[in-house]
A and B are shown apart, each in its own frame.
Chain A
Amino acid sequence: MPDSATLEAVNIDQDEGNFSYPEDYAHDAGYGLNEGTVDYISNIKGEAEWIREFRHKALKVFFAKPMPTHWASKDLENIIFNDIRYYLSKGQTPTRNWDEVPDDVKKTFERLGIPEKERKFLAGVEAQFDSEAAYSNVKEELTKEGVIFVNSTEGLREHPEIFRKWFGKVIPTGDNKFSALNSAVFSGGSFIYVPPGVKVKHPLQAYFRINAENFGQFERTLIIVDEGAEVTYMEGCTAPKFETATLHSAVVELVAMKDAKIQYITVQNWSNNVFNLVTKRGIAHENAEIRWIDCNIGSRLTMKYPGVIMKGRKARGEVISIALSNNGQHQDTGAKMIHAADETTSNIVAKSISVGTGQSTYRGQVHIPRHLKGCKNNTECDALLINSSSRTDTYPAITVRGNQHATQHEASVSQVSEDQIFYMKQRGLSEGEAMSLSVNGFVNDLVREFPMEYSVELKRLIDMEMEGSVG
């Protein structure tokens, strides 16, 4: 039981993630972004010179690149980069023992149920609080097998021979303005290596928590799964509701070597002041498989298009995405499938739900060049509109050259009809319960693909959103 002073300091709301602890940071890069900010971060981390240079180069690219407002939301212009703090930490180094985690941080993660989940079904956990991980642990037998699961600072410092080769290679700094920003100020995130043939049975989980207002979280994740190895990685994210904008801009790179399998699951539940601008991409080598399962709930604006570059013969890429945009929110999500070898297969299933004035946008890119043979793509995107003020847009771009490929594309827009809700209410369900059930029904076939624990979590989040949306 926390003492009464702590309890008072916590703003409790009915939403599970909506609480924060008072700020007392040992390290604070201050507001705004310049070369000094980058040096501040690099100094604290005691980084190698090549990383510092990498950051400085990235900062230049970031400043040089325009905002992508010619195709994306104008709301991006409301991000005031000078009002954001780019590094905040309590000076903690990640510990393997929850008892050593600073008190507020530990309480935060306890309230989010992380230690409990770890005991129940996880092979490893990393819990990041603002800029740095506070806890990081992986089951001993995995360490013995050579599995590495650390944060970005440690990964680059302790295992450069493994990580440097792919770092910034799947997603080059200049891929977009926000990947450049991340490359300049990244901190935290997960660096994972799974040696050949090792199949990690239980998921590895990372949890990203923003606690401070006017803050940007820029975690950097790189997962390398060696030949014939397999891993499932799961990330969860939350932040309390603040009045001002908060920025979350991650870069996630995946590398699946020959015959490897990576499943990357995201269940995000950002509060509606968060700009969530994330770049995620994987490279799948011969006969490898990369699967992104992406559930986007909350945030003010999310822009995220997980991608797979199928580089080796028979490689497979998949994106399964669920986006829920509530009042005032915009989920701009999709998928990118780049076929770069023969007989590669990609599958995209995207479902979006728009509630009230919520807006969902699907952007897809499927690229199959002329010189390849036997490639396949399947794209399905379905939108559900809850109210007449809800919006959805679809921009599928499928470029298939040559005639030796099979592609299939289906899209649908449907609305929860008033009569359907009437029917459900006649059986005693409240408006919120009827909406939740309809929405859960709409995504049901996708949710069935998830590991149990996450489908339960997602259902709970949808229930919370829908009940909240009808007041």
Chain B
Amino acid sequence: MSQSLKIENLHATVDGTEILKGLTLEVPKGEVHAIMGPNGSGKSTLSKVMAGHEAYTVTEGTVMLDDINLLELAIDERSRAGFFLAFQYPHEIPGVSNANFLRAARQARLPKGEEVDAVAFYKEMYLKMDELGMDRKFTGRSVNEGFSGGEKKRNEILQMMMLEPKYAVLDETDSGLDIDALKIVAQGVNSMRSPERGFLIITHYQRLLDYIVPDVVHVMFDGRIIKTGGKDLALELEEKGYDWVTKELVPA
């Protein structure tokens, strides 16, 4: 049985335009991979295609979560199968408190007839909020409503910590975070690193990778992975700029 999040030759279109053009990538369980790439290269598209967003059409390729063909599952089934996406732009859910939302998400993972143990749930949530430096008042506030950019990102990490996915994709979780928040978020992610879990961290900047040190770095450009290397690749990219890889690797 394979133990990885494996994307093979993935092609996807939106409104008739092809954005992903044969992307291949494998994150074995226990590893942290980073995807870097210039704006518009299709990083968010990749994350939403994996999550099952209906605006995108997969025209070719596969995504396997261990032995599960992810593309055959409905959006919520993918989540319950262990796929988590921390959104670049998390949505607001007016009137639904953070605690109720998380509880509903946990409830959705239980067999019929079983109920979330409320006391244990709150205890666990408070503990994780403390780790992320989130004030208790966030439990009662509507999901992401009126949250600052940084608060939204922390909230994404809180959800990830509560749902304990097998594979998590973090889409530019670092953008909009100041350095202190960045450290806290990185700590949250690091605390979840385990042989039982894989991470795919999408970022535009190398900065986040100082705190979440990746095993592998991929460079994405125009809907494809054009270069793969160790953690030093991120530093090199930062230094030389994206022009370097694109010029070097993509024939004009």
Contact = CB atoms under 8 A, between A and B. Distances in A.
Given A418-B54, A433-B104, A428 B96 contact: no
Contacts of B75: 422, 425-426
B142 A430 contact: no
B91 interface: yes
A438 B105 contact: no
B94 A442 contact: yes
Q: Is the interface of B mostly helix, strand, loop or mixed?
A: mixed
B100 interface: yes
A423 B159 CA distance: 12
A431 interface: yes
Given A423-B93, A427-B105, 18 more contacts: A419-B91, A420-B92, A422-B51, A422-B91, A423-B90, A425-B74, A426-B76, A427-B79, A427-B101, A428-B80, A428-B163, A429-B76, A431-B76, A433-B108, A437-B93, A437-B104, A441-B95, A441-B142
A99 interface: no
Q: Is the interface of A mostly helix, strand, loop or mixed?
A: helix
Contacts of A442: 94-95
A440 interface: yes
Contacts of A426: 51-52, 75-76, 78-79, 84-85, 87
Interface residues of B, number: 29
A443 B95 contact: yes
B109 A428 contact: yes
Nearest to A447: B95
B76 A440 contact: no
A59 to B, nearest CB: 47
Contact of A444 (B51, B53, B96, B159): B96
Contact count band on A: 20 to 34
Given A437-B100, A437-B101, A428 B95 contact: no
Given A419-B91, A437-B104, A427 B159 contact: yes
A244 interface: no
Interface of A: 417-420, 422-431, 433-434, 437-438, 440-445
Given A422-B53, A426-B75, A430-B76, A441 B93 contact: yes
A437 B142 CA distance: 12
Contact of B108 (A417, A423, A429, A438): A429
Interface in B93-128: 93-96, 100-101, 104-105, 108-109
Contacts of A433: 104, 108
Contacts of A438: 93, 96
Nearest to B89: A419
Contact of A429 (B87, B90, B94, B104): B104
Contacts of B142: 441
Nearest to A432: B76
Nearest to B108: A428
Most chain B beta-carbon contacts within 10 A, residue among A425, A427, A429, A437: A427
A420 B159 contact: no
Contact of B93 (A424, A425, A431): A424
18 contacts: A422-B51, A422-B53, A423-B87, A423-B90, A427-B108, A428-B108, A428-B163, A430-B76, A437-B96, A437-B100, A437-B101, A437-B104, A438-B96, A440-B95, A440-B96, A441-B96, A443-B95, A445-B95
Contacts of A430: 76, 108
Most chain A beta-carbon contacts within 10 A, residue among B79, B80, B96, B105: B96
Interface in B10-60: 51-54
A430 B101 CA distance: 13
A433 B79 CA distance: 14
Given A426-B51, A428-B79, A420 B93 contact: yes
> Which 3 pairs from chain A and chain B are nearest by CB?
A441-B95, A441-B96, A428-B79
A445 B93 CA distance: 14
A298 B55 CA distance: 33
Contacts of B53: 422
Contacts of A422: 51, 53-54, 75, 91
Most chain A beta-carbon contacts within 10 A, residue among B76, B87, B104, B159: B76
Interface in B172-228: none
Contacts of B105: 427-429
Nearest to B51: A426
A353 to B, nearest CB: 12
A426 B94 CA distance: 17
Contacts of B101: 424, 427, 437
Contacts of B96: 437-438, 440-441, 444
A428 B85 CA distance: 11
B93 A417 contact: no
A363 B53 CA distance: 38
A163 to B, nearest CB: 42
A183 to B, nearest CB: 41
B76 A428 contact: yes
Most chain A beta-carbon contacts within 10 A, residue among B74, B78, B90, B91: B91
Contacts of B93: 420, 423-424, 437-438, 441
Interface in B56-90: 74-76, 78-80, 84-85, 87, 90
A75 B52 CA distance: 41
Given A425-B79, A428-B76, A417 B91 contact: yes
Given A428-B163, A429-B104, A423 B91 contact: yes
